[in-house]
Structure 1
């Protein structure tokens, strides 16, 4: 696939995901932010190019309203599972599934993504935009999500604050994983909590693909 065709395919996926509704009543302690369609499309497109989506089982940990899970569902996986601890966004995710109209059904599971509520027999690709641990008392929240990814996944794609590569590399090394791809991405945060002082702001993030062999 040429770069031009790849770019067009990624943009088309972002357009398809633009109908995905965000959180109606986001909870700050859970850092519930709507993953931008462009970022989700980029992650899913890279995963698909690596052979990690089509014909595979995909799990979205902390799926929220389903952006990453639905992006994967548009790329012909065998099955998709979205896991979230909060029932309200899962209800929105089911509505979003109807809006997107993917051919692959998504199983929406209420559960704590950090305690591995899944025991898949088939190879699994994990997609996740975990909490960054920005809230007081939540520092290192993304570590627990990585622990689950290491337990259930063969490959994982995860979004982290910029400057996280040393931490992610160390975690992967200690848990039978290896970073194979990394790229920077901007994440637009709308004003949705009282501590936000601007209408929107851009934060720098990093996305890592980890191969888990441990």
Structure 2
């Protein structure tokens, strides 16, 4: 039996954060409550009955949550090898089974085999919000990847992204079926942060792709 959302969030609370987060990659830990909400909903929708690919997995929060929630298979992709080492340690800490892949999530080094494609692929992702100059529209790149490999995706975006996400999905033959807010409490970690703690407001969208 899959764990409840609350139980899943509690298990994820033990996962380690980035040891040396990169501001250029906008490396922030996905809150356990948000990951639990995403993967619990995915379970209710039957989206964990197929391979799950976490684009830009970081320290593995979403991929591990998917595994613990009952995913048929979970894969985490990230460009940062140090983050993937932490992700592997995190998975071992809670007994999750995840395949870790080093690579650029906007050009993922994975192929969806015919049998996987018949079963479908689910993408989960917390891409950069685009707050840094070099990351403008980074979330669009992740959406493009999701569209190219997934039947269903769950992506996390900055507050105020609903019009953009719905427009992009519609242009590509997809449809947003669920949307909900996702608060990101953040402790001071980069030099440009002026407060000790802050909360970013994110938004999560479930998209069914044609």
TM-score range, shorter chain: over 0.9
User: Is residue 59–residue 124 contact of structure 1 (8 Å, CA) maintained in 2?
Assistant: yes
Question: Is the partner of 2:106 in helix, strand or coil?
Answer: helix
Is residue 69 from structure 1 mapped to residue 71 from structure 2 by the alignment? Answer: no
Unaligned regions of 5+ residues in structure 2, if any?
A: none
**For 1:76 and 1:168, how far apart are their aligned partners in 2?**
27
Calculate the TM-score normalised by the size of structure 2. 0.94
1:189 Cα deviation from its structure 2 partner: 1.5
Which of 29, 37, 52 aligns to 2:47? It is 52
Which of 16, 19, 30 aligns to 1:21? It is 16
Unaligned regions of 5+ residues in structure 1, if any?
A: 1-5
The number of residues matched between the two structures is: 204
1:114 Cα deviation from its structure 2 partner: 0.2
**For 1:135 and 1:189, how far apart are their aligned partners in 2?**
16
**Structure 1, residues 62-119: CA drift from partner, whole Å, max 9, x if none?**
00000000000012222110000010000000100110113xx211000000013221
**For 2:134 and 2:33, how far apart are their aligned partners in 1?**
30
Question: Is the partner of 2:91 in helix, strand or coil?
Answer: helix
Which of 149, 153, 169 aligns to 2:150? It is 153
User: Is residue 116–residue 152 contact of structure 1 (8 Å, CA) maintained in 2?
Assistant: no
Counterpart of 2:106? 114
**For 1:91 and 1:136, how far apart are their aligned partners in 2?**
27
1:15 Cα deviation from its structure 2 partner: 0.4
**For 2:121 and 2:187, how far apart are their aligned partners in 1?**
32
Question: Is the partner of 2:86 in helix, strand or coil?
Answer: helix
For residues 1-214 of structure 1, the aligned pairs below 5 Å read: 9-53=4-48, 55-102=49-96, 105-121=97-113, 122=116, 123-213=120-210
1:190 Cα deviation from its structure 2 partner: 1.5
User: How large is the RMSD of aligned CA atoms in angstroms?
Assistant: 1.3
1:137 Cα deviation from its structure 2 partner: 2.7
